[in-house]
Amino acid sequence: MQPIRRRHRGFALLCLSAALLAAATLLPGAAVAEGVTPSEARRLRDEVKDMFYHAFDGYMKYAFPLDELRPLSCQGEDSLGGYALTLIDSLDTLALLGDKEKFGAAVEWVGKNVHFDINKTVSVFETNIRILGGLLSAHLIASDYATGMRIQSYDDQLLHLAADLAQRLLPAFDTPTGIPFGSVNLLYGVDENESKITSTAGGGTLTLEFGILSRLTNNTVFERVTKKSVRGIWSRRSKLNLVGAHINVFTGEWTQKDAGIGTSIDSFYEYLLKAYLLFGDEEYLYIFQEAYKAAMHYLHHDPWYVEVNMNSGATVWPLFNSLQAFWPGLQI
């Protein structure tokens, strides 16, 4: 393993700042949206906090250390790998809420008990955004005095776990296009019968976590493979600068040519802009600007966004779906 850098205050502050901005209503004295009074903002803040603890405490009581809680039966299940997924996914929220006791206890438990040398086939996309992202954000918060949540006894355990996990995901990127398989076995790599079809979001929602990991470990391979994946998707865009929903990672052929901002594509747009903001890489900004202009021209039917054929621009699905809800936040 490459040597791990211990000086990463800038990343910690940037990641924490992004989290604080996304959840501003949780913070006393935060900016209030137009039309919302300070008292209403406090009520909404407390309501969100109560909702989180209702879900988190329920998970810890009925499901931990399994991955997720089944809300009707109040039973746990290992749905995405078997490594206390919900706990890892909640680490940065505990820190955001200022819960030092639970954050510290959770970081300690994960560092001592989680490992990835297991015979489990996992989603590259979900494992990246929920496990790798959870480990990295918690590492940055726990290791920096500036966050106010530094853990004195913490010694980069989560970063070591993140680096090990990312190494186990790397075999998924061994494709002719550079776009990764959708799933990979953490012990044995990609199964010979694994589907060669993946979503655009699956190949384009990896740059932030892998890029930060490259900087923290001084190992460029992580950022390199995810950038190649983004380039692989964008190089196969249509003449309208639209991308489809599903693609063959070996041939590069689009198997679903519906273009939209929702299901199977959504976070491709999101990560382009965030990668530029986080890393200052002008290539990501250029791709985002071109993709955004095309989306606004062909997909925006005021006040809705539709799905169209990526080659002709003809509407193929005129209905709004919930995964489009992130778009206004991206525009801000």
Residue 2 lies in a domain: no
Residue 158 lies in a domain: yes
Residue 155 lies in a domain: yes
Q: pLDDT at position 35, please?
A: 82
pLDDT, mean of residues 2-8: 46
Give the number of domains in the chain.
1
Residue-wise pLDDT tens digits, 13-31: 455 444 444 444 444 555 5
Residue 66 lies in a domain: yes
Global pTM reads 0.90
pLDDT, mean of residues 274-294: 98
Residue 170 lies in a domain: yes
Q: pLDDT at position 7, please?
A: 43
Residue-wise pLDDT tens digits, 187-229: 999 999 999 999 999 999 999 999 999 999 999 999 999 999 9
Residue-wise pLDDT tens digits, 86-140: 999 999 999 999 999 999 999 999 999 999 999 999 999 999 999 999 999 999 9
Q: Where residue 76 sits, what CATH number does that domain have? A: 1.50.10.10
Q: pLDDT at position 29, please?
A: 52
Q: pLDDT at position 15, please?
A: 52
Residue 271 lies in a domain: yes
Quote the strand ranges of 4-123, DSSP E.
68-70, 75-77, 121-123
pLDDT, mean of residues 317-323: 91
Looking at per-residue confidence, does 319 or 289 come out higher? 289
Q: pLDDT at position 325, please?
A: 94
pLDDT, mean of residues 287-311: 96
The CA angle 222-256-245, to the nearest 5 degrees, is 40
Q: With contact defined as beta carbons under 8 Å apart, do 260 and 298 qualify?
A: no
Q: With contact defined as beta carbons under 8 Å apart, do 82 and 124 qualify?
A: no
Q: pLDDT at position 161, please?
A: 98
Residue-wise pLDDT tens digits, 128-176: 999 999 999 999 999 999 999 999 999 999 999 999 999 999 999 999 9
The model's confidence at residue 320, banded by pLDDT at 50, 70 and 90, is confident
Q: Which domain holds residue 204?
A: 9-331
Looking at per-residue confidence, does 23 or 323 come out higher? 323
Residue 4 lies in a domain: no
Residue-wise pLDDT tens digits, 227-282: 999 999 999 999 999 999 999 999 999 999 999 999 999 999 999 999 999 999 99
Which residue in 126, 124, 141, 120 sits closest to 15, CA to CA? 141
How far apart (Å, rounded) are the C-alpha atoms in residues 121 and 139? 25
Residue 227 lies in a domain: yes
Which whole-number Å values give the CA distances from 4 to 7, 156, 159, 191, 215, in the listed order? 9, 9, 8, 31, 9
Looking at per-residue confidence, does 22 or 81 come out higher? 81
Looking at per-residue confidence, does 34 or 320 come out higher? 320
Helix (H) or strand (E) holding 309: strand 307-309
